[in-house]
Amino acid sequence: MTDSLVQGLTAALGGKVSGEIIIFIISMIPILELRGGLLAASPALLNVPILRAIPICIIGNLLPIPFILLLIEKVLDLMEKIPGLCKIARWVRQKADKNKGQIEKFGFWGLALFVGIPLPGTGAWTGSLVAALLHMKFGKAIAAILVGIAMATIIMSLLSYGLLGALFG
């Protein structure tokens, strides 16, 4: 699913904006995040040099995180009072509840691993959501998310530029 979303966004934006803007936008989108940005940047799609792609994807992925950590609970509380939006708010809370066990159990490292291991449903957006709803201290949450993003960057760089680079380079 991630691959087809990345390819679709890359095709839709290609020729209209630079590859760097495309990977920045993709890196900010929930579900896709840094993983999708580095896939789009790879030799298989946009061929953005790795040393240029990494900081762009990291910044794009990090940009929404403080807002999620600081505001998501208030936003969800407000959404629950608005007919039609209350179902979305409940779905978001259920998604967070589903993932909070491992983060609660392992704290900082649980959150870092949750953000860092690139599997469907994990990443900085969901990690921030769970950290906020668990009332994790802002500094601790940001630090764990940064460690997780560093892990995801290494893993996805190896996959996107190593494996895909070998196939398409």
Mean pLDDT of the chain: 91
Same domain as 94, residue 143: yes
Kindly report, residue by residue over 44-90, the tens digit of the pLDDT: 899 999 999 999 999 999 999 999 999 999 999 999 999 999 999 99
Same domain as 157, residue 123: no
CA dihedral 140, 142, 143, 149 (to 10 degrees): 140
Same domain as 56, residue 104: no
Same domain as 82, residue 22: no
Closest of 61, 111, 117, 121 to residue 91, by C-alpha: 121
Same domain as 146, residue 72: yes
Number of domains in the chain: 2
Could you give the angle at which helices 33-41 and 138-157 cross, rounded to 10 degrees?
Answer: 30
- At 14 the three-state DSSP class reads strand
Q: What are φ and ψ of residue 17, in 5° steps?
A: -140, 165
Q: Please report, rounded to a whole number, the percentage of residues in the chain having pLDDT higher than 90.
A: 70
Same domain as 162, residue 98: no
Nearest-angstrom CA–CA distance, 58 and 37: 9
Same domain as 43, residue 74: no
Same domain as 70, residue 51: no
Nearest-angstrom CA–CA distance, 146 and 151: 9
Same domain as 126, residue 71: yes
Nearest-angstrom CA–CA distance, 150 and 62: 11
pLDDT reported for residue 169: 57
0.85 exceeded by pTM = yes
Same domain as 43, residue 88: no
Instruction: For residue 55, give its domain range.
Output: 2-62+153-168
Same domain as 33, residue 83: no
